[in-house]
């Protein structure tokens, strides 16, 4: 590992401090290094807060003059919620900037690098680039596609069932796997389910502590896909702390205008009408609305019909599937899409990781639509 890689590794570790709390912004870490000594460090912790470079420069003070900055993402060159980092870097007199990954935000993409170079700063790009890009795969996905990075999560038996025929599902996996799911919810700014799951299971879709109380200042945005606006105004998740977005069709919003105004009168509830095709709402348009509301990623928790519709429209990017070593002789399948005819229709998974979780198995993979 070269000295540059060594410092960039530290900057990546610093960036991780902001994990799951910076959306819609990226994770960014920065170090200011003078004569081989780290004199400043910073992480971006939340949208609207100072950028990583600003924290690091403040800590370094006068020592930033003539120093090297290591930063995991190209310094911004635009006025957003905060002023451009390129100007702060130039003002502090930093003479060399080492960058892991170019920013994809069109307001800055390559412009931060050229601004610094034009001002006479030595700039090196691409040190530990793959790791830095992996860190921000959700942010880059949102900026590149206008939709959140979608992770499908399910817990099923080895026979592929998520519940018995009666709908009974408590519990498929053991306590360790269920605790991991709470952690997974913490890692995503949005959680989505279909209306059938809301009606059948009355889920709360909150991050909870051991006592069952919804905790923390960062509850995920709950997203309900509800083509016909069937959600009852009394649904308990509408009263949970945090924001709820109900995505429905323009037609349903017209047909149920009274319910629509009752729903929007509840605290942090927003109903978003989108276009309709073949009787169902346009999922991609719904996802774009979620991205526009500041969510870099979305955890899709089911049910079987909604999940299959997401896969059929190629909208799932990654899967996290917990498998319990149990066989149900009959039950509800994890996925319920259009009838299939050939094995060749199967969607392939790649980059598979399998992990034992106290008697259950966790299976993580990227989705390959070919
Ligand atoms: C950096 N360092 O720590 C972050 C950057 O609304 P703002 O002002 O926070 O700007 C958000 C954009 O700035 C975001 O889309 C991304 O391009 C960049 N984020 N850049 O140099 C940081 N968080
Ligand atoms: Zn910045």
pLDDT at 217: 66
> 339: helix, coil or strand?
coil
Q: What is the pLDDT of residues 278-291, one digit of tens each?
A: 778 999 999 999 99
What the block records as the tokens of 143 is 């900026």
Could you identify the atom of ligand 1 that is nearest to the CA of residue 25?
Answer: 14
147 three-class SS: coil
Angle at 267 between CA 262 and CA 271, to 5 degrees: 55
81, pLDDT greater than 90: no
What distance in Å separates the CA atoms of residue 322 and residue 320, rounded to the nearest whole number?
7
| Ranges of H-type helices in 122-256 | 129-135, 137-145, 175-186, 195-201, 250-255
Residue-wise pLDDT tens digits, 17-74: 999 899 999 999 999 999 999 999 999 999 999 999 999 999 999 999 999 999 999 9
CA of 73 to the centre of ligand 2 (A): 9
Q: Helices (DSSP H) in the chain: which residue ranges?
A: 3-15, 52-60, 85-92, 111-118, 129-135, 137-145, 175-186, 195-201, 250-255, 257-264, 283-292, 304-312
CB–CB of 269/248 below 8 Å? no
User: Best substitution site from 30, 76, 97 to test ligand 1's pocket, by max atoms within 8 Å of Cβ?
Assistant: 76
What string of H, E and C letters represents the secondary structure of 297-309? Answer: EEEECCCHHHHHH
pLDDT of residue 161: 97
C-alpha 78 – ligand 1 centre gap (Å): 9
Q: Determine the pLDDT at residue 250.
A: 96
CA of 99 to the centre of ligand 1 (A): 14
Q: Which of 368, 367, 354 is nearest to 322 (CA)?
A: 354
Q: Which among 204, 200, 198 has a CA at the least distance from the CA of 229?
A: 198
CB-CB contact of 283 with 309 (8 Å): yes
Helix (H, G, I), strand (E, B), or coil: what is residue 20? coil
Q: Are strands 318-324 and 360-368 parallel, antiparallel or unpaired?
A: antiparallel
β-pairing, 29-34 vs 68-73, is antiparallel
One of 53, 74, 240, 318 is an active-site residue; which one?
Answer: 53
HSE of 301, CA atoms in CB hemisphere, 13 A: 22
Residue 274 is predicted with a pLDDT of 98
Quote the ipTM score. Answer: 0.92
Helix (H/G/I), strand (E/B), else coil: 100: strand
Ligand number nearest CA of 139 is 1
What is the percent of the chain with per-residue pLDDT over 90, rounded to a whole number?
89
- Asked whether 25 lines ligand 1 (CB < 6 A), one says yes
DSSP per-residue string spanning 67-108: -EEEEEEPPP-S-SSS--HHHHHHHHT--EEEEEE----TTT
Looking at the DSSP bridge assignments, the partners of residue 321 are 154, 363
Report helix, strand and coil shares of the chain as percent, to nearest 5: 30, 25, 40
Ligand 1 close to Cβ of residue 76 (< 6 A)? yes
Whole-structure pTM value: 0.94
Nearest atom (ligand 1) to Cα of 42:
3
| 254 annotated as belonging to a binding site for a ligand | no
Q: List strands edge to edge, sheet with 29-34.
A: 37-43, 29-34, 68-73, 96-101, 122-125
Instruction: Please report where in the chains the tokens 């009752």 appear, as a residue.
Output: 262
**Sequence-distant (≥ 6) Cβ neighbours of residue 344 within 8 angstroms:** none
| Spatial contact of 125 and 4, defined as CB atoms under 8 Å apart | no
CB 334 within 8 A of CB 160: yes
Mean pLDDT of 225-248: 95
Q: Is the dihedral of CA 38, 128, 96, 71 positive or negative?
A: negative
Q: What is the DSSP letter of 238?
A: G
* pLDDT tens column, 275-323: 998 778 999 999 999 999 999 999 999 899 999 999 999 999 999 999 9
Which pLDDT score, from 0 to 100, does residue 267 have? Answer: 84
Cα–Cα dist 332/163, whole Å: 5
Q: Is 355 labeled as catalytic in the residue annotation?
A: no
């Amino acid at each position: 590992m070269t000295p540059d890689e060594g410092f960039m590794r530290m900057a990546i570790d610093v960036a991780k401090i902001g994990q799951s709390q910076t959306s819609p912004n990226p994770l960014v870490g920065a170090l200011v290094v003078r004569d081989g000594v780290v004199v400043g460090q910073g992480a971006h912790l939340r949208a609207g807060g100072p950028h990583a470079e600003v924290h690091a420069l403040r800590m370094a003070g006068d020592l930033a003059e003539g120093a090297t900055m290591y930063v995991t993402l190209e310094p911004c060159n635009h006025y957003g919620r905060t002023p451009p980092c390129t100007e702060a870097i130039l003002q502090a007199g930093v003479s060399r900037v080492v960058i892991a990954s170019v920013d994809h935000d069109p307001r800055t993409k390559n412009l931060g690098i050229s601004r610094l170079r034009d001002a006479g700063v030595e700039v090196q790009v691409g040190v530990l680039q793959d790791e830095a890009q992996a860190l921000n795969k959700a942010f880059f996905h949102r900026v590149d596609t206008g939709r959140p990075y979608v992770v499908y999560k399910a817990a099923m038996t080895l026979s592929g069932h998520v519940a018995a025929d009666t709908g009974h599902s408590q519990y498929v996996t053991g306590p360790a796997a269920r605790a991991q799911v709470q952690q997974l919810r913490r890692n995503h700014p949005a959680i989505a389910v279909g209306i059938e799951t809301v009606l059948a299971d009355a889920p709360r879709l909150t991050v909870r502590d051991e006592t069952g109380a919804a905790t923390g200042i960062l509850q995920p945005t709950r997203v309900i896909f509800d083509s016909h606006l069937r959600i009852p105004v009394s649904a308990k998740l509408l009263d949970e702390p945090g924001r709820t977005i109900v995505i429905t069709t323009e037609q349903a919003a017209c047909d149920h205008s009274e319910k629509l105004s009752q729903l929007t009168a509840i605290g942090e509830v927003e109903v978003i009408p989108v276009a309709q095709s073949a009787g169902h709402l346009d999922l991609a348009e719904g996802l774009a609305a979620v991205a526009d509301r500041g969510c870099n990623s979305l955890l899709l928790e089911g049910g079987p019909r909604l999940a299959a519709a997401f896969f059929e429209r190629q909208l799932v990017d990654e899967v996290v599937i917990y498998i319990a070593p149990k066989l149900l002789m009959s039950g509800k399948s994890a996925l319920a899409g259009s009838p299939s005819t050939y094995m060749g229709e199967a969607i392939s998974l790649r980059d598979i990781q399998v992990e034992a979780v106290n008697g259950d198995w966790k299976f993580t993979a990227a989705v390959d639509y070919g």
